[in-house]
């Protein structure tokens, strides 16, 4: 009798766990990008590494910025950035795909993945990277939306380097007048870093 009750209790526990799992899966599906109409833009061989939402073009609507990485991609390969702009009917349209906008996973040196954050503000966004070993570095690239061009352009670069041994710190900044015209479509974070070092 005890064995039968134990088996019955175990069966109930398994059923309850399955029910909770299904419920959690359904909740996740509702909260995931799929429910928000984003997944249709992502191919099966691609992972979303970061998703940010905000008013990227200054029109008051919530747009989406995605960091994408191929599933079979090497850690030394650059990652892409996609911008989905909100439409009048509540869906999204793919307006930007920039394949080299995000530094590779191994580009942060001993600090790991260099992608620190992406901050969205009305009419633009900031890509922030950091990494290093003895010398810790950080780079922030600020992009602003141009309504006339329907594109985002690099407005400012902020760089910092800190020597962890002697505490020496260096900072440098560059504005659009110094940088030139750089669209997010053509932005290459790795090449931009190399140019800064030369």
Is residue 36 situated within a structural domain? no
Q: CB of 100 within 8 A of CB of 187? A: yes
- Residues 25 and 45 placed together within one structural domain of the fold: no
The model's pLDDT over 23-43, given as tens digits with 9 standing for 90+, comes to 333 322 333 444 458 999 999
Q: What are the angstrom distances between the C-alpha of 167 and each of 136, 137, 139, 164?
A: 10, 13, 18, 5
Q: What is the pTM assigned to this prediction?
A: 0.80
- Residues 46 and 122 placed together within one structural domain of the fold: yes
Q: Identify the pLDDT of residue 62.
A: 95
Is residue 189 situated within a structural domain? yes
- Residues 18 and 51 placed together within one structural domain of the fold: no
- Residues 96, 87: Cα–Cα separation, whole Å: 14
- Residues 120 and 73 placed together within one structural domain of the fold: yes
- Residues 72, 184: Cα–Cα separation, whole Å: 25
- Residues 102, 150: Cα–Cα separation, whole Å: 21
- Residues 96 and 142 placed together within one structural domain of the fold: yes
- Please count the structural domains in the chain: 2
Q: Identify the pLDDT of residue 198.
A: 55
- Residues 47 and 119 placed together within one structural domain of the fold: yes
Q: Identify the pLDDT of residue 5.
A: 40
Is residue 60 situated within a structural domain? yes
Q: Identify the pLDDT of residue 36.
A: 53
- Residues 26 and 46 placed together within one structural domain of the fold: no
Q: Identify the pLDDT of residue 197.
A: 64
Q: Identify the pLDDT of residue 58.
A: 96
Q: Identify the pLDDT of residue 34.
A: 41
| Residue 107: exposure state from Cβ atoms within 10 A (0-12, 13-18, ≥19) | buried
Is residue 124 situated within a structural domain? yes
Domain that holds residue 45: 41-197
Distance spanning both ends of the chain, measured CA to CA? 81
- Residues 15 and 51 placed together within one structural domain of the fold: no
- Residues 51 and 113 placed together within one structural domain of the fold: yes
pLDDT tens for each residue of the chain, 198 residues long: 434 443 444 443 334 333 333 333 332 233 344 445 899 999 999 999 999 999 999 999 999 999 999 999 999 999 999 999 999 998 999 999 999 999 999 999 999 999 999 999 999 999 999 999 999 999 999 999 999 999 999 999 999 999 999 999 999 999 999 999 999 999 999 999 886 665
């Amino acid at each position: 009798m005890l064995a039968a009750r134990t088996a019955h209790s175990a069966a109930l526990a398994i059923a309850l766990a399955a029910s909770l799992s299904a419920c959690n899966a359904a909740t996740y599906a509702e909260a995931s990008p799929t429910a928000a109409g984003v997944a249709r833009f992502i191919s099966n061989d691609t992972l979303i590494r970061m998703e940010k939402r905000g008013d990227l073009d200054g029109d008051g609507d919530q747009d989406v910025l995605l960091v994408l990485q191929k599933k079979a991609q090497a850690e030394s390969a650059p990652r892409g950035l996609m911008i989905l702009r909100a439409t009048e009917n509540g869906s999204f349209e793919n307006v930007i795909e920039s394949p080299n906008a995000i530094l590779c996973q191994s580009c942060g040196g001993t600090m790991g993945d260099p992608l620190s954050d992406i901050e969205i503000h009305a009419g633009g966004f900031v890509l922030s990277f950091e990494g290093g070993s003895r010398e810790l570095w950080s780079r922030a690239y600020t992009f602003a939306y141009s309504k006339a061009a329907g594109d985002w352009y690099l407005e400012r670069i902020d760089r910092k380097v800190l020597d962890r041994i002697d505490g020496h710190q260096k900072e440098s900044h560059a504005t659009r007048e110094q940088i030139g015209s750089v669209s997010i479509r053509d932005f290459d974070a790795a090449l931009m870093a190399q140019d800064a070092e030369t």
